[in-house]
């Protein structure tokens, strides 16, 4: 069976983006179901603190963030390509779909479904965003404003798709499509009033049907304990090394790597790889031994730690 292990949960839109990448490439993969709130005791030994969903594991190499997961899947399994229309197109779409559009969807979904969500979920997300307390009334009161933000962006998305042929990058679906799709999928699947907002745009509903038809490849469930054993038995891939860089980073520097937006939990280790696109940190965990945790450069801050 496959060496690709995805740590995720069903309702995660960013995980849906990766499940579709696996489908687009027709891959087999192992599926580890993780909690949607902290604590995540079987994920932390692998990531060293990074808590977002999803995470891709290949042996003792751990890939964080869907941008990097896309690149890594493309490197390991180049055909069929995920990069129809080019990586620049995918990242440009990501600039909209994973920021203004995604947050309008998230705000609307959270506000309109607030009473149906468990208190533990609200508390976890408030903490993850760095808020000092949960304010459900504020969340609910913000829903109409979020809808005002959302509607024009759905119209822009429909316009983009009206000019697609039939995908954003041409004849074949690619990362740009999956990136736009995952925000729309979140709006449709979260229940409540989201679906009606999509239904007024036939371009969006047609596109969503085409993307859903890609499927998720072939997955087999794996327990989180088994995934930890896989990491413990494996050795990380050979490093791609630290490229010459103006910032002065060198292999072996003690560093922390932290998302720049939310869930800013630092991952600490020694610098293993650094180049125009990626940062990788080597760390030793008492449960799984030596692992290398990989991040994209964009969206992550690297900082020097004191050597001891």
Ligand X SMILES: N[C@@H](CCC(=O)N[C@@H](CS)C(=O)NCC(=O)O)C(=O)O
First-last CA distance in the chain: 42
- Among 120, 197, 204, 121, which Cα is nearest to 158's? 204
* Residue 101: CB minimum distance to ligand X, A: 14
**CB closer to ligand X, 66 vs 146:** 66
Q: Which stretch binds ligand X (CB under 6 A): 65-73, 152-160, 232-240, 244-252?
A: 65-73
* Residue 14 within binding range of ligand X, rule CB under 6 A: yes
Three-state SS letters, 210-226: HHHCCCCCEEEECCHHH
265, 50 in Cβ contact below 8 A?
A: yes
Distance CA 133, CA 130 (A): 9
**Closest distance to ligand X from the beta carbon of 238 (Å):** 25
- Give the nearer residue to ligand X in terms of CB position, either 106 or 255: 106
Q: Do residues 68 and 308 lie in contact, with contact meaning Cβ atoms separated by under 8 Å?
A: no
Among 42, 65, 197, 253, binds ligand X (CB under 6 A): 65
For ligand X, the closer CB: 120 or 233: 120
Of 7, 13, 62, 73, the residue at the interface with ligand X (CB under 6 A) is 13
Least distance from ligand X to the Cβ atom of residue 171, Å: 26
Q: How far is the CB of 31 from ligand X (least distance, A)?
A: 15
Contact string (CB under 6 A) for ligand X, positions 30-59, x = contact: ------x--------------xxx------
Q: How far, in Å, are 156, 197, 259 from residue 162 at the CA level? A: 10, 17, 34
Query: In 36-45, which positions are buried (b, 16+ CB within 10 angstroms) versus exposed (e)?
Result: bbbebebbbb
Minimal distance, residue 65 CB to ligand X, in Å:
4
Binding to ligand X (CB under 6 A): which residues in 283-302?
A: 299
Strand, coil or helix: 287:
coil
Distance (Å, rounded) from C-alpha 127 to C-alpha 229? 31
In the complex, the residues that contact ligand X under the rule CB under 6 A are: 12-14, 36, 51-53, 65-67, 128, 299
């Amino acid at each position: 069976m496959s060496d690709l292990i995805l740590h995720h949960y069903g309702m995660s839109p960013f995980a849906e983006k990766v499940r579709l990448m696996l489908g687009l490439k027709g891959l087999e993969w192992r599926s580890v179901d993780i909690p949607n709130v902290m604590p995540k005791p079987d994920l932390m030994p692998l990531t060293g603190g990074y808590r977002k969903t999803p995470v891709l594991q290949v042996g003792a190499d751990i890939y964080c963030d869907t941008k990097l997961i896309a690149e890594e899947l493309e490197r390991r399994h180049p055909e069929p390509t995920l990069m129809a229309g080019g990586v620049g197109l995918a990242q440009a779409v990501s600039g909209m779909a994973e920021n203004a559009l995604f947050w309008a969807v998230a705000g609307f979904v959270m506000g309109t479904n607030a009473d149906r969500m468990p208190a533990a979920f609200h508390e976890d997300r408030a903490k993850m965003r760095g808020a000092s307390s949960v304010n459900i009334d504020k969340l609910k009161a913000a829903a109409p404003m979020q809808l005002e933000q959302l509607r024009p962006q759905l119209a822009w998305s429909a316009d983009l798709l009206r000019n697609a042929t039939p995908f954003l990058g041409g004849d074949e679906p690619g990362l740009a499509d999956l990136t736009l799709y995952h925000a729309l999928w979140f709006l449709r699947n979260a229940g409540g009033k989201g679906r009606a907002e999509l239904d007024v745009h036939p371009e969006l509903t047609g596109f969503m049907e085409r993307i859903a038809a890609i499927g998720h490849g072939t997955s087999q469930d794996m327990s989180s304990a088994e995934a930890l054993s896989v990491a413990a038995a494996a050795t990380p891939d050979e490093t791609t090394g630290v490229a010459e860089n103006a910032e002065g980073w060198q292999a072996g520097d003690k560093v922390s790597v932290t998302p720049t937006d939310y869930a800013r939990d630092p991952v600490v280790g020694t610098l293993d790889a650094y180049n125009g696109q990626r940062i990788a940190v080597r760390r030793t965990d008492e449960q799984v031994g030596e692992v290398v945790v990989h991040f994209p450069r964009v969206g992550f801050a690297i900082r020097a730690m004191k050597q001891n």
